[in-house]
């Protein structure tokens, strides 16, 4: 009805291109406009000024011969002051933008290795955006922003990259585990050495205490019992220890013992052997002194 009366309403964020007898006449901005069709005026078409988004998937090859799919997202809008150029100069805006994106990506990615593509995706997006801005501004469009939203290598390449990463982490874990085991072994050896050292000190002190006790016992017994010599006292002490040992062996039901020829008379032989060993060792010590 409005068009029949020669009136036209343009919505917000839109413009209408008006022609007069097939020739561009004016760009109608949002609001109500007079369009006397009887005088040769007509609407050629409309154009949105809103920001639009175009996602472009481009397959290309990196410098190290790996094929990847790069997904770029381009945000653009028509410039109100250049609405006539945006309407008349391009027949397919999205296809034109897609062509420039393909050209920009395939000019940048082949210069980089695969790892560098992931690291420098912002630089790639900036290069594509500069190329688009330079080309599309002449057609009445402004490029708001260009983003590289995804980089997809081949499935086998992704699997190989994951395996390399996993192997590196396993190697690092093995090194750390070996280092920890080394530290444990060192600490264990240090602990055993310290334990043996302290045990040796304890045994030495124990033997010293036994010797001191035996000496005091022999001297006291010799003084209290007239006519006994230190040799007799030592023989008696050895016999007493012999019987105490036999008593302990017989009292334990789970003892593992090795029996050798023995008897009360064998104590004298043991005493003689000990005495001879001491007598043989003493000249050696005296000569060393």
Which range is least confidently modeled, 12-16, 96-100, 160-164, 185-189? 160-164
Q: How does pLDDT run across 114-142, given as a tens digit for each residue?
A: 889 888 989 999 999 998 998 898 899 99
SS3 sequence, the chain? CCCCCCEEEECCCEEEEEEECCEEEEEECCEEEECCHHHCEEEEEEEECCCEEEEEEEEEECCCCCEEEEEEEEEEEECHHHHHHHHHCCCCHHHHHHHHHHHHHHHHHHHCCHHHHHHCHHHHHHHHHHHHHHHHHHHCEEEEEEEEEEEEECHHHHHHHHHHHHHHHHHHHHHHHHHHHHHHHHHHHHHHHHHHHHHHHHHHHHHHHHHHHHHHHHHHHHHHCCCCCHHHHHHHHHHHHHHHHHHHHHHCCCCCCCCCCCCCCHHHHHHHHHHHHHHHHHHHHHHHC
- Compute CA 38 distance to the chain's CA centroid, rounded to the nearest angstrom: 76
Per-residue pLDDT band for 98 (boundaries 50, 70, 90) equals very high
- Which sequence spans correspond to the domains of the chain? 7-48, 52-153, 154-245
CA-nearest of 58, 53, 52 to 70 is: 58
Mean pLDDT of the chain: 80
User: Which pLDDT band holds residue 284 (cuts at 50, 70, 90)?
Assistant: very low
Task: Report the percentage of the chain scoring pLDDT > 70.
Answer: 77
Name the region of 260 (left: φ>0; alpha: ψ -120 to 50; beta: rest). beta
For 52-153, the fitting CATH number among 3.40.50.2300, 3.30.300.30, 3.30.479.30, 3.20.20.140 is: 3.30.479.30
Contact 47, 116 (CB under 8 A): no
Rg (CA), the chain: 53
Long-range contacts of 193-202 (CB under 8 A, 24+ apart): none
The 10s digit of each residue's pLDDT in 49-81 is 999 999 999 999 889 888 899 999 999 999 988
Residue 285: per-residue pLDDT: 46
203 or 242, which is more confident: 203
């Amino acid at each position: 009805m409005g068009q029949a009366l020669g009136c036209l309403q343009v919505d917000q964020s839109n413009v209408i291109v008006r022609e007069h007898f097939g020739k561009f006449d004016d760009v109608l901005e949002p609001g109500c406009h007079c369009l006397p069709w009887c005088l040769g005026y007509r609407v050629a078409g409309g154009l949105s000024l809103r920001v639009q988004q175009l996602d472009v998937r481009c397959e290309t090859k990196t410098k190290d011969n790996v094929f990847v799919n790069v997904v770029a997202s381009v945000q653009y809008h028509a410039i109100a002051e250049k609405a006539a150029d945006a309407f008349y100069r391009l027949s397919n805006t999205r296809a034109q933008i897609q062509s420039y994106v393909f050209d920009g990506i395939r000019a940048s990615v082949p210069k980089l290795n695969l790892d560098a593509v992931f690291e420098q995706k912002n630089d790639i997006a900036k290069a594509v955006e500069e190329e688009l801005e330079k080309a599309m501004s002449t057609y009445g469009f402004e490029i708001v922003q260009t983003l590289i939203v995804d980089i997809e290598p081949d499935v086998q390449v992704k699997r190989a990259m994951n395996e390399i990463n996993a192997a590196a982490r396993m190697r690092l874990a093995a090194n750390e585990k070996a280092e920890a085991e080394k530290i444990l072994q060192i600490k264990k050896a240090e602990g055993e050495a310290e334990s043996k050292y302290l045990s040796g000190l304890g045994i030495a002190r124990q033997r010293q205490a036994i010797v001191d006790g035996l000496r005091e016992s022999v001297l006291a017994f010799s003084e209290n019992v007239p006519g006994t010599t230190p040799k007799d006292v030592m023989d008696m002490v050895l016999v007493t220890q012999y019987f105490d040992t036999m008593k302990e062996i017989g009292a334990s039901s789970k003892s593992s013992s090795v029996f050798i020829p023995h008897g009360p008379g064998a104590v004298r032989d043991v005493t003689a052997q000990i005495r001879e060993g001491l007598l043989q060792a003493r000249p050696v010590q005296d000569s060393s002194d």
